Structure 1
């Protein structure tokens, strides 16, 4: 493993915390994989890959406990943990588009459904590329100047993510308000299942997951804006409270309110939904 004389960590990474979260992400990712196979929900592939990223990241972090100067391990734990939420976001964006088509509420969406998923996923891809580039510069360099450059590239990527997630939440809420006021027949039929197993429960899950990712992204912006000697990055507890815990909760929420419970097996999904599914598959391949 390559090593650096530059101080990569302001502390010795906790072995116990890294192992605990690696194990937690293994459990929830395995369950997501089971749900995906059972329901044939291809649009959740990026979400599962995000879980795998978390596992790799925290495993690398656990090994970093014994090799605090290894730039290879530092790069792995930095990049995989940093980029996982973008993969969660890709699936979340796809789910909203499928909900709208499922309910035949295209006329109630403020963004045309044929563009909705593409717009948000493209924003996610931009954020992913910026954070990946910044993380690569930051973790592979022993230079303090390049480290700062990498941190600010990551901040730019996180700001893009915050911008698109904010727009996504507003778009979701406007659609939610409109379809509540002008419910389609499909929306009324879905309510027969009862909350939270209908579209209202699934939208609530998307709100919760989105807010958790927003909290995590705000934490990361503060962390990288303060720099490598800042208070936040110098205290490992913030990583586990505002990143690891938030992202684990995102995965648990989507385990509990899996989209397939609402979106699968309903005869009202027509050829538009099939086209949406094909578009989602193309976006998955592009994103992953």
Structure 2
């Protein structure tokens, strides 16, 4: 994921013909980012990233697909660090593109993790449950959402890089490309949220025994102990979906208003409707690491399904 981000940064610089570290007398983007909020965001995302990495390496068995969660948190922290670096001074195009794309594209890692996570979650149940409760057949669910995340990532990466160009035409085209990517991403994730909610509702309505596990062990916060009640992870995924949807809607509104619009040039909106919802949503997995609620059988099944998608 990080290699793709860097590739898009280099592509954007090449496409605009402004890869040199040149300066101007006006801040790029129309405003100078405040350092204090960026420092706070850097610390918060950094702490969450560290906890994610600890869970990833210590909770056994290791679920390799979950690496997208700590990678996303780490990329967000890097984005805010680059945002701070950009302010010394705030006139450098390459630095602007770097922090902007890291913060814009990092949530794609979160989405990729959630898209694969739902495949593993439903694999806990018998085939009859998944066939009756899923809107998409279990064999296609990961493929559909992972590929949608891949294409929206491409659109946002290329569009976001071009949008930073000092050439008005290229900037406008890039803004629209990124906007299309954000709209498709929002619609795709909205559909994912519907699939998740309807699955839970149908399991509760039609398979009450599967909905409520018998005699589960008490849930322990920040523990490596397995979670017997799958609904804990389900509820966390629902809460996460709310935060990501808020961020997705905000980003669509931001790019629809243009690079010099009121939303894009006022940081209060960005921190309230982008950074904070994302941090709250993904920090929930510091408390409920998904691997704790997935049994070995589901892990093997989903690994095979993911291999078919990528190969």
Gap runs ≥5 in structure 1:
none
Q: How many Å apart are 1:184 and its aligned residue? A: 7.2
Q: Secondary structure at the match of 1:192?
A: coil
CA contact (8 A) 1:190 1:199 kept: no
Where do residues 85-104 of structure 1 align in structure 2 (5 Å cutoff)? Answer: 85-104=107-126
2:257 maps to 226
CA contact (8 A) 1:126 1:160 kept: no
CA contact (8 A) 1:130 1:157 kept: yes
CA contact (8 A) 2:29 2:260 kept: no
Among 73, 84, 87, the alignment partner of 1:62 is 84
TM-score (norm 2): 0.83
Q: Secondary structure at the match of 1:156?
A: helix
2:35 maps to 15
Q: How many Å apart are 1:21 and its aligned residue? A: 0.9
Q: How many Å apart are 1:9 and its aligned residue? A: 2.9
Listed one character per residue, the Cα deviations across residues 90-127 of structure 1 (whole Å, up to 9, x for unaligned) are 11111111111112232222211111011011111111
Q: Once superposed, which parts of structure 1, at least 4 consecutive aligned residues long, lie more than 4 Å away? A: 184-188, 194-197
CA contact (8 A) 1:8 1:68 kept: yes
Distance of 2:236 and 2:214 partners within structure 1: 16
2:71 maps to 49
Distance of 1:145 and 1:81 partners within structure 2: 24
Q: How many Å apart are 1:255 and its aligned residue? A: 1.5
CA contact (8 A) 2:23 2:91 kept: yes
Structure 2 residue 22 is matched with structure 1 residue 3? yes
Distance of 1:158 and 1:87 partners within structure 2: 14
Among 238, 241, 248, the alignment partner of 1:210 is 241
The CA RMSD measured in Å over matched residues stands at 2.2
1:227 to 1:201, Cα distance in 2 relative to 1, 3 A: same
CA contact (8 A) 1:22 1:58 kept: yes
Q: How many Å apart are 1:229 and its aligned residue? A: 1.8
Structure 2 residue 292 is matched with structure 1 residue 261? yes
Where do residues 35-184 of structure 1 align in structure 2 (5 Å cutoff)? Answer: 35-39=55-59, 40-104=62-126, 105-107=129-131, 108-139=133-164, 141-183=165-207
2:3 maps to none
2:50 maps to 30
CA contact (8 A) 2:101 2:157 kept: yes
CA contact (8 A) 2:121 2:294 kept: yes
More displaced stretch, 142-151 vs 4-13: 4-13
Structure 2 residue 305 is matched with structure 1 residue 279? yes
Q: How many Å apart are 1:275 and its aligned residue? A: 2.9
Listed one character per residue, the Cα deviations across residues 225-283 of structure 1 (whole Å, up to 9, x for unaligned) are 11122111111111111111111112211222221221146xxx26xx41312333676
Distance of 1:121 and 1:181 partners within structure 2: 29
2:7 maps to none
Distance of 1:116 and 1:191 partners within structure 2: 31
CA contact (8 A) 1:131 1:153 kept: yes
TM-score (norm 1): 0.89
Among 200, 213, 217, the alignment partner of 2:231 is 200
Distance of 2:33 and 2:161 partners within structure 1: 20
Distance of 1:144 and 1:172 partners within structure 2: 42
Gap runs ≥5 in structure 2:
1-19, 221-226
Q: How many Å apart are 1:194 and its aligned residue? A: 6.0
Distance of 1:207 and 1:188 partners within structure 2: 17
Distance of 1:281 and 1:27 partners within structure 2: 32
Q: Secondary structure at the match of 2:174?
A: helix
2:213 maps to 189
